[in-house]
Amino acid sequence: MSQPPRPRILVTRSEPGASETAARLHAAGYDAVLEPLFAIVPIEVVLPDFDALAFTSANGVRRFAVLAPRRHTPVFCVGARTAQAAREAGFVDVTSADGDVRALGDMILAKLPAGARLLHAGNEDSRGDLAGRLVSDGIAAQFVALFRAEPVPAPGPALARQLAGERVFAAALVHSPRGGEILAGMISAAANPAAVDVAAISPAAAAPLTGLARRVAIAEAPNEESLFSALANLVSG
């Protein structure tokens, strides 16, 4: 008896995370279609002095690791994947908030003394004013943009076919507000797209697609485990 076809899932995040997600999709019984909607472009920057670091993305960790050799500074990460990237980069004192930017701010305030110099390094479009909140509570925090997410010039082959009216994939994964914005723009520009179902990692990632995607499932927590649960409900529903 033949097995039912594996659902095809569009992966829109940038590399190297796209390939990591594709491997997890394959293990979970899906076929992944890798077509990142943006590329990570480094920004040249001079880093200020700091006593501790905050990261809200694995890409921020990877870019920072190229720019600075220090690995014993306390590192505060928004979630488990970002913390894993920090440990893989050689940082030895890593703590995860296992939540969102608000949870990260709460954790930093609980652990850092007033007057400590904290550097939040990451995407120039980072959401939430982490540094501003910390400054108002006595932490000498500063944000430095290390990279930008530049949209691809055109959709990849599978997404292009879907936007032209052919049902190619069962759902798209959206890992960030930036990815949601770019996908929304592409859907809006299409004359007669096939319906697109989306599993989004957060309400902010889902928001641009409201009224454009046929169905949107939002992860209960901003991590890939919850995102995959949302995807499973979407595909089976």
Same domain, 131 and 161: no
- Would residue 87 count as lying in a domain? yes
DSSP 8-state symbol, 22: H
Residue 3 lies in a domain: no
- Side chain identity, residue 170: A
CATH number at residue 126: 3.40.50.10090
Do 185 and 200 fall within a single domain? Answer: yes
3-state secondary structure 170-211: CEEEECCHHHHHHHHHHHHHCCCCCCCEEEECCHHHHHHHCC
C-alpha 201/C-alpha 180 separation (Å) is: 10
Out of 107, 133, 148, pick the residue that ends a domain: 148
Number of domains in the chain: 2
Q: Do the beta carbons of residue 35 and residue 141 sit within 8 Å?
A: no
Rounded to 5 degrees, φ, ψ at 15 are: -80, 155
**203: closest CA among 186, 185, 216, 190?**
216
Residue 1 lies in a domain: no
What pTM value is reported for the model?
0.86
Read off the tokens for 214. 């046929």
pLDDT in tens, the chain (237 residues): 467 789 999 999 999 889 999 999 999 999 999 999 999 999 999 999 999 999 999 999 999 999 999 999 999 999 988 999 999 999 999 999 998 899 999 999 999 998 899 999 999 987 668 999 999 999 999 999 999 999 999 999 999 999 999 999 999 999 999 999 999 999 999 999 999 999 999 999 999 999 999 999 999 988 899 999 999 999 987
